[in-house]
Structure 1
Amino acid sequence: MMIIEARYYPEIVDELARGAIQVLEQHGSTYKRFEVPGAFEVPAAVRMAIRSMDFSLDRRRFDGYVCLGCVIRGETSHYDIVANESARALQNLACEFTLALGYGIITCDTMEQAWERARVDRRNKGGEAARTVLAMIELKRRLNLYPRQT
């Protein structure tokens, strides 16, 4: 499993990651964590991970991708651009490459809303993103979309 963390709001993302990791570990999943500066860079990191497999014969793609971050509305349209375009790009990647992807990039008006969504003992959106990935991995297995082991 690949966990991509947009580190623009590090404390919020640490809490999202904590929730995601709890869920993954409860299910016996292994994971690697990667950091990017902000939510806008998350889709590029996923695409780089996919592309890196093109250069290695002995590696395969991650089973799933947990995308974590936080975008808080400011006084300009920057929020709308980052929130919409990162979501669109991740959905495009998921569809084009049949990725099991969990979207845990929370979009909020205030820091208080962000904490409400991030905290493991509240809405736990990081854990929700991890559960989504696990569900999509199971769907891919049922549809025989994983390479056969030789």
Structure 2
Amino acid sequence: MREGAEAVFATAGATVEVVDVAGAFEMPAALRMALAQAGTPYDGFLILGCVVRGDTDHYDHICRETCRGVMDIAVETGAAIGFGLLTVHSLTQALERAAPGRMNKGAEAAHALLGQVALRRRWGLG
């Protein structure tokens, strides 16, 4: 997914900084920290990750709360955010969605982010 997103950004001439976090649950907090930087130099933020279902309901809680956390930040701040969190039942499903080509979910999320950045600029917000 990262490679797919990086290819989209390279084509667009965008500069990218990659930050890794421990897991999906940490994504909203990391996003909030990035937004809290004084004079943040970023036009947008791309969230990429994967949660694979296990044998417990932990999966449901993590997926729901990660999505809610990112959505809350997006609505509250109006930041340009691309969101590519795979929520899958198996590693095979994840690999299918991360494979190079037109179905790469990282590339799709990067395109969505670029669209949000363009929209913010159109409306004089960034």
**TM-score bin (small chain):** over 0.9
- Aligned-partner Cα distance in 1 for 2:41–2:76: 14
With over 3 angstroms needed to count, the CA separation of the structure-2 counterparts of 1:108 and 1:122, relative to structure 1, is farther
Could you tell me which residue of structure 2 aligns to residue 106 of structure 1? 86
With over 3 angstroms needed to count, the CA separation of the structure-2 counterparts of 1:107 and 1:130, relative to structure 1, is same
Alignment equivalent of 2:55, drawn from 58, 70, 75: 75
Using the aligned pairs only, state the percent identity.
42
Residue 97 (structure 1) aligned with residue 77 (structure 2) = yes
Residue 133 (structure 1) aligned with residue 118 (structure 2) = no
- Aligned-partner Cα distance in 1 for 2:102–2:43: 28
Unpaired stretches in structure 1, ≥5 consecutive residues: 1-15, 54-58
Flag the structure with more relative contact order, 1 or 2, with Cα contacts below 8 A and sequence separation at least 6: 2
Structure 1 residue 52 displacement after superposition: 2.1
Superposed, which structure 2 residues align to 1:1-150 within 5 Å? Answer: 16-53=1-38, 59-121=39-101, 123-146=103-126
TM-score of the aligned structures, taking structure 1 as reference length: 0.81
Question: Runs of 4 or more off by more than 3 Å in structure 1?
Answer: none
* SS in structure 1 at match of 2:116: helix
TM-score of the aligned structures, taking structure 2 as reference length: 0.95
Q: CA RMSD in A?
A: 1.1
> Is the strand fraction higher in 1 or 2?
1
Name the aligned partner's letter for residue 16 of structure 2. Y
Deviations 1:20-59 (A, max 9, x none): 0000010000010001011110111110111122xxxxx4
- Aligned-partner Cα distance in 2 for 1:86–1:73: 14
Structure 1 residue 61 displacement after superposition: 4.1
